[in-house]
A = this chain, B = another copy of it.
Amino acid sequence: MKKADKHQKILVAATKVFGSKGFFSARISDIAKEAKVADGTIYLYFHNKYDILLTLFEEEIAKLIVDIKAALAQEEDPRRKLYIFALHHLKLVIEKKELAEVLQMELRQSSDSVKEYRITKFVDYVNIISGIIHQGQKSGIFRPELKPGIIKRAFFGALDEMSRLWILNSDHSYTIDDTADEISSIFLNGISLPA
């Protein structure tokens, strides 16, 4: 097995274990077992437990950004773009459940040391939303008085919360497409009827 393969294999295992038990409750030996390597082997590829989490986070968000940007490039209309972003984000939850769980956690971990780091890659991701909003305001489609900085957070928060619902419940009354549609519709048109 190539070196890169084992690195990857450990990351995949770690994603699974972190996703199900959470970072702190996850044991190195759990990850090792899942990856079918010895405990010590993990330290040939990562500095320590936390390093596994960070690497995971970095690499996966980077992939996500590439994917979503490619999908958005196909589309001109900011309204459609918002929908596409929602769809992509929610798809992640279906296709990479464990990863989604890890991201959710990692983002919230309130430990001062974690607060420091984190940011960079994730900020890039969320800024894709404000880019869309901005474009829509420039072309006169979105209300100009709204602050992209708030909207991006609100939109991301809404999606993130839906993801959590998906992860926690197993019922799944709604499809991904319906959910993406409803969320983007709420943001685009609001919930009030015209007076």
Q: Which residues of A contact B (CB under 8 A)?
A: 19-22, 24-25, 79, 101, 104-105, 107-112, 114-115, 133, 136, 140-143, 146-147, 149-151, 153-162, 164-165, 167-168, 173-174, 179, 182-183, 185-193
Query: B147–A154 contact, CB under 8 A?
Result: no
* List of B residues within 8 angstroms of A111 by Cβ: 20-22, 24-25
Q: State how many copies of this chain the complex holds.
A: 2
Q: A182-B146, A190-B186 are in contact. Are A153 and B165 (CB under 8 A)?
A: yes
User: Closest residue to A185 on the B side, CB-wise?
Assistant: B146
Query: A20–B110 contact, CB under 8 A?
Result: yes
Which of B24, B110, B149, B160 is the one whose CB lies under 8 Å from A19? B110
Which of B101, B112, B158 is the one whose CB lies under 8 Å from A20? B112
In Å, the complex CA distance between A140 and B192 comes to 9
A-B contact pairs, 15 of them (CB 8 A): A19-B110, A21-B112, A22-B109, A101-B110, A110-B167, A142-B191, A143-B189, A143-B191, A150-B174, A151-B186, A156-B161, A157-B162, A187-B191, A189-B190, A189-B192
